[in-house]
Chain A
Amino acid sequence: MLALVTASALFLRWLPHHGLSILLLFAVSAGAALAIYLTQRRRYGAKSHGVSREHVDADITAVIWTAFTGIALGVLGIGVVLAG
């Protein structure tokens, strides 16, 4: 989550150079960070109960969404660089 917040701040830093299109990258990374923040308490609870029960389900949805966020940021970034 903090890495996404840092990345979103870095994207915002280059707003003067890249223009408003960089706001898309900021929105995706900040939105993903916010989603992680809002769900982390529930996920932490599930994982800690899982450790005590010795059964943790692999969180495949979270893995897919996180990877998708990285890919989306890359696609948008290439678009911003080529358009600039």
Chain B
Amino acid sequence: MTNSQQAPGDAAPPSRGKIAERLLPGGEEPDPRFTLANERTFLAWIRTSLALLAGGIAIEAFTSDLFLEPVRKGLAIVLLLLGMLLSAGAALRWLRVERSMRHKAPLPLPLIVPLLAGAGAVAAAVVLVFVLWR
């Protein structure tokens, strides 16, 4: 029996809190293993985001003798923006996957994967051009 099919006399399911009720409305609680797996995937994206944020700060200081200042700052800001976008995108993806699982719908496509791949390719191309040009 699921939470939405309570028999008369059964205890009411515990309240999920206002934020959860608003952002994850309706549906049924998914298998706990899937909820935990979704959280682990979110944390993996957050680790990637932190690496980009730390890298963005480091590249500005680390490459002072390799790149001109505008290039250095530009690369640092691209990495920091990408880190921010990944943080926000990871939370949105977690929410969309959780909603899909609650409604037994197909899982959404990960939109942050092409974002990371595209931005990584652009950043690598910029670095390559400047290393060859220098």
Q: Do A and B come from one complex?
A: yes
Whether A17 pairs with B84 at a CB distance below 8 angstroms is: no
A residues apposed to B, CB below 8 Å: 3-4, 6-7, 10-11, 13-14, 17-18, 22, 25, 29, 47, 50-51, 54-61, 63-64, 66-71, 73-75, 77-78, 80-82, 84
Whether B35 pairs with A56 at a CB distance below 8 angstroms is: yes
Which interface class (under 10, 10 to 19, 20 to 34, 35 or more) fits B? 35 or more
Whether A57 pairs with B20 at a CB distance below 8 angstroms is: yes
- List, in ascending order, chain A residues with CB within 8 A of B49's CB: 70
B residues apposed to A, CB below 8 Å: 3, 14, 16-17, 19-20, 23-24, 29, 31-33, 35-36, 38-39, 42-43, 46-47, 49-51, 53-54, 56-58, 60-61, 64, 73, 76-77, 80-81, 83-84, 86-88, 90-91, 94-95, 98
Bound-state Cα–Cα, A54 to B76, Å: 45
Q: A60-B19, A63-B94, A80-B57 are in contact. Are A70 and B84 (CB under 8 A)?
A: yes
Bound-state Cα–Cα, A36 to B44, Å: 16
